[in-house]
Structure 1
Amino acid sequence: MTTFIRRAEVERRTGLKSSSIYERMAAGDFPRPIRIGPKAVAWDETEIADWQAERLAKRDASAAA
């Protein structure tokens, strides 16, 4: 089952602010939100967790090199 999280929760979990989230989305480096209503969007919780895991894997690969 997919869980959607709103922007404030995405900010809390990632440590990124709104402007950084949207800049990274524009660059193709952050998951895109899903429209959940006429004026509301949310992110897939799993996609955010995968993005975080990818960051950790890149960090660990750089440390091992």
Structure 2
Amino acid sequence: MSTESWNNDNINLLRRSDVLMRCAFSNSTLHRLINSGDFPTPIQLSPRSVAWIEHEVNDWIKQRILTTRTLKNGGSYE
């Protein structure tokens, strides 16, 4: 995690439902991506509550878009 996250007083947190809606995938896909290290790890808010840092999720989405557009313009989808 970059130090920018720690120095920013406007850190927004996303709950699981927000993350699932933004990324348009299922809860099981979310868990699979986290476990494989392919999605930002949530932070523990309480024993039964987690959240994601909004800019990390946004960065992940932007990277997926960039990767897809790069592959479409000359790479392979495999």
Q: TM-score over 0.5 for the alignment?
A: yes
**Residue segments in structure 2 that go unaligned for 5+ positions in a row:** 1-9
Cα deviation for residue 17 of structure 1 reads 1.1
1:5-58 deviations in whole A, cap 9, x for unaligned? 100111111101110000011111111100111211000111110000000000
Equivalent residues in 2 for 1:1-65 (5 A)?
A: 1-65=10-74
Comparing both chains, which one has the higher relative contact order based on Cα–Cα distances under 8 Å and sequence gaps of 6 or more?
1
**Equivalent position amino acid for 1:38 in 2:** P
Count, aligned residues: 65
Q: Distance in 2 between matches of 1:52 and 1:41?
A: 19
Give the fraction of aligned pairs with identical amino acids, expressed as a percent.
31
Q: CA RMSD in A?
A: 0.8
Determine which structure has more spread, i.e. the larger CA radius of gyration. 2
Q: Which runs of 4+ in 1 moved over 6 A?
A: none
Q: Normalising by structure 2, what TM-score?
A: 0.79
Question: Which has more helix, going by share of residues?
Answer: 1
